[in-house]
Structure 1
Amino acid sequence: MKKISLLAVLFSFFITACGDSDGGANASTNAGTAALDEVYASEDDLPGCTEKYDGAIAFVKEGSTAFRCEDGRWENKGEYYANNDAIKNCTAKREGEVAYIVDEDKSLVCEDGKWVNSSNVSSSSSWSEVKGSSSSIASSSSWPPEGGIGYSSAQAPSSSSVAQSSSSVASSSSAKSSSSSVKSSSSITSSSSSGIVLPCKTESEDNCEYGILKDSRDGREYKTVKIGDQVWMAENLNFDTDNSWCYGDAPANCAKYGRLYTWAAAVGGAEDECGGGHECDLGTGDVQGVCPKGWHLPSKAEWETLIVAVDGSITEYTSSNTASSKLKSVTGWSDSGNGTDTFGFSALPAGYRLSDEYYYEGILACIWSSTEANSKRAYYMDLYYANGYAKLYDDYKFIGFSVRCLKD
């Protein structure tokens, strides 16, 4: 990890701010209440946002950006300034930008020519969105922004740079083998005559349309469930392929949670074609990827269809969004974070793999989509133990996330 003195960075920043054409008063070298001792050269060099860093502020020289470790994610707090006197003028070209004031531990946003408290500004904006000269701040972010494992242009804990594997998996266009068709164990529909998807689980009965998927490649069987017009695996995939792992390298966790896959492995591509830094030409239509024949890796749009089916709409990440609670399993989540599993999806908190280490078992479910965000990142579904939100973020392709397959 590349680290440099915080005082040195603030000093160099002072020189830059004084030369800014929009003005800007003298900057102090007061490091305020910074919780980490060093400044990191880039977002890629941030450590994992683990419990020991919870609440910590980290500074990144590249872009002069501040990040706070919150709930397992490095959240972008904006361009950092030593104090209020050091901040640049809020001009039209900075409209929507966020600034972090070190000695007051707060973020401000530039609105209508004034810097105002950003209590209503999402800290999950991606770095590129925050730095955009005139764009408004988006509600999705990265963990760390555009560089660090994090969630999306969106979110996830950051890391030091990760070596990319060059081993390949089978092409998504090739049919490795076939799987048995899904057998419905119930004729009960999950939708009402009005087309609204109804819960299939209540306290008194379970009317979910379950089935069985048998993967002929290895003989494993998976429970499936129909939700609205979609048929999903009701368990995480546990097919052993290159660039996939058991959480903690423990085989028992593969049996419990399924395997964790890089995005390239999930879509059935080689790391040097679909991994970090490579735009993967997946074409149009369903992407079978690592899924059995007749099934595919769900797209971002198909995940959104699921959220609408269980929650009525794609809502903002507020208390009105309860999709996560309805999708999470009724056991296995930390600190009373279990869900109601209202639709039989039974999402498990499998955590993720980053740079040969494993994080957040019992805390997070991160499940890949087939939709690429850019050459470095791809979208995934995120479920978190501490709230009911179901969120779609993008994150680095080299991270190991879970896979759920969707029937063609």
Structure 2
Amino acid sequence: MNKLFYRIFLFYTIISCKSETKKLTDIDGNQYSIAKYGETFWMTENLKVRRDINGNDINYFFPDNDSGNVQLYGLLYDFETACKVCPQGWRLPNNADWEQLFNFSKDNVAGNYKDKQFWEGEINSNNSGFSIRPSGIGNNKEHPNNFGENTLFWSDSKEEEHFIWTYILEKGKTKIRKASQHPTYAFSIRCIK
């Protein structure tokens, strides 16, 4: 009888631990899938929170200037906002985090990270389960928003005093690019723990 009880207890403990590591909830109640890559947990969806971790309203942009795109593509944030919106206990990834995830030491193939249903005209595997969608960029209409063409993710690493590193996936490109950007532009966010 004790062995049976122990097995049932162990089974439910394992199941409850696994379910805790598959979802993350932000301050607005949005839930995100997460996955472990190496020793780090990553969100596998773009952030879509509309308040910072203290409950204050924040600045954000809708992908393609359309609020209907938020559920599928998340929101776009300037760098200052990006630094204060990850859920409690989570943070913005730095360059080392991104480069370890994308395995920059080898031939990083963007198709392993692109959600195969959202990059029109491409064959992508999304083998990683990271599910990147082409959310484009947010800005004050100074430049095209490139919705459906690319996605940029903020890093927490600065190139120099006024520019921040980003990681870019582009339509038709198999390489993941790294480039510095002005902090007033708005890009996607994935948080890590």
- Give the TM bin, normalised by the shorter chain: 0.7 to 0.9
Residue 243 (structure 1) aligned with residue 59 (structure 2): yes
Q: Find the counterpart in structure 2 of residue 256 from structure 1.
A: 72
Q: Where does 1:252-331 land on structure 2 (aligned, <5 Å)?
A: 252-267=68-83, 289-308=84-103, 313-315=104-106, 320-322=107-109, 324-331=110-117
User: Which consecutive segments of 4 or more residues in structure 1 shift more than 6 A?
Assistant: none
Q: Per-residue deviation at 1:183?
A: 5.2
Q: 1:255 to 1:183 in 2, by over 3 A?
A: farther
Q: Find the counterpart in structure 2 of residue 184 from structure 1.
A: 18
Conserved? CA contact 2:115–2:126, under 8 Å:
yes
Conserved? CA contact 2:64–2:135, under 8 Å:
no
Conserved? CA contact 1:183–1:211, under 8 Å:
no
In 2, distance between residues paired with 1:228 and 1:327?
15
Residue 373 (structure 1) aligned with residue 184 (structure 2): no
Q: 2:24 aligns with which of 213, 220, 234?
A: 213
**Higher relative CO (CA 8 A, sep ≥ 6), structure 1 or 2?**
2
In 2, distance between residues paired with 1:364 and 1:396?
17
CA RMSD of aligned residues (A): 2.0
Q: Per-residue deviation at 1:330?
A: 1.1
In 1, distance between residues paired with 2:190 and 2:108?
22
Conserved? CA contact 1:300–1:392, under 8 Å:
no
Q: Which has the larger radius of gyration?
A: 1
Q: C-alpha offsets along residues 110-149 of structure 1, whole Å, 9 cap, x if unaligned? A: xxxxxxxxxxxxxxxxxxxxxxxxxxxxxxxxxxxxxxxx
Q: Where does 1:345-360 land on structure 2 (aligned, <5 Å)?
A: 345-356=130-141, 358-360=144-146
In 2, distance between residues paired with 1:296 and 1:330?
27
Query: Which residue identity is paired with 2:105?
Result: I
Q: 2:33 aligns with which of 200, 223, 230?
A: 223
Q: C-alpha offsets along residues 259-280 of structure 1, whole Å, 9 cap, x if unaligned? A: 100011101xxxxxxxxxxxxx
Q: Specify which structure has the higher proportion of helix.
A: 2
Conserved? CA contact 2:48–2:74, under 8 Å:
yes
Q: Per-residue deviation at 1:355?
A: 2.2
- The size of the alignment, in residue pairs, is 171
Q: Specify which structure has the higher proportion of strand.
A: 1
After TM superposition, the score normalised by the length of structure 1 is 0.40
State percent identity of aligned pairs: 29
Q: Per-residue deviation at 1:395?
A: 0.8
After TM superposition, the score normalised by the length of structure 2 is 0.81
Give the 3-state SS of the residue equivalent to 2:80 in structure 1: helix
Gaps of 5+ in 2: 1-15, 52-57
In 2, distance between residues paired with 1:339 and 1:381?
18
Conserved? CA contact 2:153–2:188, under 8 Å:
yes
Q: Find the counterpart in structure 2 of residue 23 from structure 1.
A: none
Give the 3-state SS of the residue equivalent to 1:239 in structure 2: coil
Q: C-alpha offsets along residues 136-164 of structure 1, whole Å, 9 cap, x if unaligned? A: xxxxxxxxxxxxxxxxxxxxxxxxxxxxx
In 1, distance between residues paired with 2:38 and 2:100?
9
Gaps of 5+ in 1: 1-181, 187-209, 268-288
Q: Per-residue deviation at 1:335?
A: 2.4
